[in-house]
Each structure stands twice: as structure tokens, then as C-alpha cells.
Amino acid sequence: MSNLEDYKNVWVFIETEEGKAKNVGYELLTPARNLADQKKEKLVAIVIGYKVEDVAKQSIAHGADEAIVVDGEEYNIFSTDAYANALTTLIEKYKPSTVLLGATNNGRDVGPRVSCRLGTGLTADCTGLGIDEESGNVAWTRPAFGGNLMATILCPNTRPQMGTVRPGVFKRTPPDASRTGKITHEEIHTAADAIRTKILKRVKEVAEEVNLEEAEYIVSGGRGLGKPENFCYIRDLASVLKGTVGSSRAAVDAGWIAHAHQVGQTGKTVAPKIYIACGISGAIQHLAGMSDSDIIIAINKDPDAPIFNVADYGVVGNLFDIVPLLTEEIKKHKA
């Protein structure tokens, strides 16, 4: 293996599908920019897809210094074999010190395969990134032991340092159209017989319509709702705010609402402008998914509920009285 000093620059994998970038890649450019600046290295966007030149330009506008593009028809729709081949080939050629991927279905698929081929470590499902002052390694923070504590993980002996980061943890910075940077095209093709899977049919699930990661207003319900019918209170309030309905794990496990709405360690990580938690006690697994919200409002009849420790505003009382009042007041204000 090469010396660790041979590895330079911070890479972000900009996930694409059918020529369009997924939001998480642009989000990751925000913490990656900080890492690159601290390490005095370049920030490089890695764009694999088909007809993705514009994605490379947008990546530079969102903070990357350069972009490397692998463009080919076989990359139009994600396949593990093609993407793992392209990404591994790039890393072996350029030797980045750090690689960030989104903890999406595709990122969680390709990341471990690439790290295994390279013989390096990968920290999955991170919610925080920093630099360990003593060693200079990337400090990856993720929930551990069922979300009951946060672990900080280092990869001191191998390169690149790789990690997947949850969508919604970081906010993407507004694009700056005046930013320019070098775009390098690499011809890497994956033979058809090397791609062992093919998509026969795509079925759009209703779950795709629940876009918690990009919502500005989220109203979430928990065990305190008592029964599935009472989610009507949550939906009414979310509707007047033009927001999205979320839930705690308890409500999902009880079968009251689909998993697509779940916020927390085993659900979505969100960072809306306003997060309203109704009848949610605030277990650490739930807090791991929403504590970066700009404003947190908690409504709970238990004054000792842990949710009040992170809330900016707390209302101690019966949600069945308070939520309809809040909904009506917002309606009046908007009128």
C-alpha cells in the first residue's frame, strides 16, 4: 500500500439518476468544504452518470474546487457493478484522502463495496464530521448502541477515509454562479456482461412523495396520539403550514402511519425551519433525527418529557386541545 502522505483532497460523490443530481450530494459539499479548508486540500466533486455535465458545473457552484466526470449510458440508472467499478478506478488513480457519500440506498450499496475493494474502512450513517486535532484524521460521528450514545470513529491506518452521511443532516449552501473550476472527464466504461443486474420494471411508491429531508415545516406525531385516526390533528396543522407530516418510531411500529414518515435514527434525518413534535416523548433515537431543526416546538402533557430539553418552545398540555387551537390561529393569521 502507498504511504498515507500520497493521498490528498476531499471527494464528494454526487449521486445522479437519469442526468439529475440528488440533493444529498450538494448538501455534503458544505461539510466537505470545511474539511478541505482545514486540511488545506482541494474539494473535488465526483459525478458519475449520463449527460451530467451540468451537474458538474452545479457542484462547483455549490462549493467544489473541481469536478471529475464519468459519463456513459451504462451509468444512467444506478447499478452496483458499474458504479463500484467507476468509483474504485477513480480512487486508485487519483488517491483522495477522504471520500463522502450520501447514506441513500445507492450510497449504502456502493460505498462498502468500494471500501472493501480498496482495503480501507468506511463509517456508515454519519450525523457529524470534523477533524481530530491530535491525529489530523477525519472524525466521523454516528449513533451507536441503538442510538443511546454517539460514537466518534477514526480511520488512522488506511486511505481513503470513507463515510456515508445521512441526507438532511447538512444544509446545502446557495449556489454561486460566479465560481469556476476545472472539470476533468474520465473515460471509464463497464462492459454489459460485467453488470450482473438489470432493471425490469420501476414501480413508484407513495413513499417517494413524503419528502421530509427537504421540508421547511414538519409536524410530527407520536405515541401520545393514542390511535391512528388522531393523525388527522397532525395533518390539519401540517396542511395550514404547507408542511409535511412526520412521526416517531412508536407511531410507525404501532402501524398508525407508514415508515416513510418516520423521523429518527432508523428513519429520516431532518433539519426544517420549524419542527413541531406532538405527543413525542423525545427518546434519543428520535432526537438524533431532528435536533438540527432551526426551531423546535414541543407539545406534551408530561412536563418531564426529554423533548423539552431540546425544544426552543414547549407547551405542557393536552395536544388534542392545543393543536386545533394552534391550527385555527395560524389560519386566522394567514387570512
Feature table: binding site: 223, 248-249, 262-266, 279-286, 300
User: What DSSP element (H or E) covers 288?
Assistant: helix 284-290
Residues 6+ apart with CB under 8 A from 300: 224, 277, 278, 279, 280, 281, 307, 308, 314, 315, 316, 319
Four-point Cα dihedral 85, 88, 94, 95, nearest 10: 180
- Phi, psi of 203, deg, nearest 5: -115, 120
Identify residue 179 by its one-letter amino acid code: R
> Which residues are part of a known binding site for FAD?
223, 248-249, 262-266, 279-286, 300
DSSP assignments along 70-138, one per residue:
EE-GGGSS--HHHHHHHHHHHHHHH--SEEEEE-SHHHHHHHHHHHHHHT--EEEEESEEEE-TTT--E
CA pair distance 33, 57, nearest whole angstrom: 16
Characterize 256-267 residue by residue with b for buried, 16 or more Cβ atoms within 10 angstroms of its Cβ, and e for exposed.
bbeebbbbbbbb
Cell readout for 145 is 448502541
Amino acid at 128: G
